[in-house]
Amino acid sequence: MCKISDDMKPHPVVVSVLKMVCAVAPSWRIIPTPDIIDKVCKDPEMRKQVRSNPYIYRGKIPLKTCHELLVVSLDIEKNLHEVTLPFLVLHGGDDIVTDPSVSKLLFEEAASVDKAFKLYPGMWHALSAELPPDVEHVYSDIISWLDQRASRATCAANVSENIGTSTS
């Protein structure tokens, strides 16, 4: 979560009021949390497993938690340009939980030289909870991305080792 999409971000007046209430009653659970499992998991078997998981939180989120998520996401959004590590961003094109444009923004703003963005048309939020052929495609892309970097690192190590031996 590197940004709350503009259409999901609460109005500044609402944020101010909630911040004041948060100072007085941080554990107050007034923020509604919709059941999004049906919008996250396309695979019915995975959806069933998620619903039966006793560790999945099902209540309203404490006000202080929501406030901190907002503060942190605003800070991250402001500093996307400072990201310099290699990264791969994968996002479902039909994700209605998090806006794909937010992932695209990270890709565009980050200073990383080695970065990749892949949008999967028709896929939802939980890419590992898609139907099996689509999950295989996603994992194949991840493994390919990692293999390319591992190959480069191996080649660089071999070149460095050869240079060290030839000068001895």
Q: Which pLDDT score is estimated for 82? A: 96
List the structure tokens of 166: 């030839």
Complete domains list, the chain, with CATH: 12-161 (3.40.50.1820)
Q: Which pLDDT score is estimated for 161? A: 72
Q: pLDDT digits over 27-56, tens only?
A: 999 877 777 888 888 888 888 988 898 888
Higher pLDDT, 71 or 141: 141
Residues 6+ apart with CB under 8 A from 60: 29, 30, 31, 32, 33
* Mean pLDDT for all residues in the chain: 87
Q: pLDDT digits over 71-100, tens only?
A: 898 899 999 999 999 999 999 999 988 889
Q: pLDDT digits over 107-130, tens only?
A: 999 999 999 999 999 999 999 989
pLDDT at 164 exceeding the cut of 70: no
Distances (CA, A) of 87 to 42, 90, 112: 26, 10, 8
Please check whether residue 46 is in contact with residue 55, taking contact to mean a CB–CB distance below 8 angstroms.
no
Using CA atoms, how far apart are residues 60 and 36, in angstroms rounded to an integer? 13
Q: Which pLDDT score is estimated for 75? A: 92
Q: Which pLDDT score is estimated for 50? A: 87
Q: Which pLDDT score is estimated for 4? A: 76
Q: Which pLDDT score is estimated for 97? A: 85
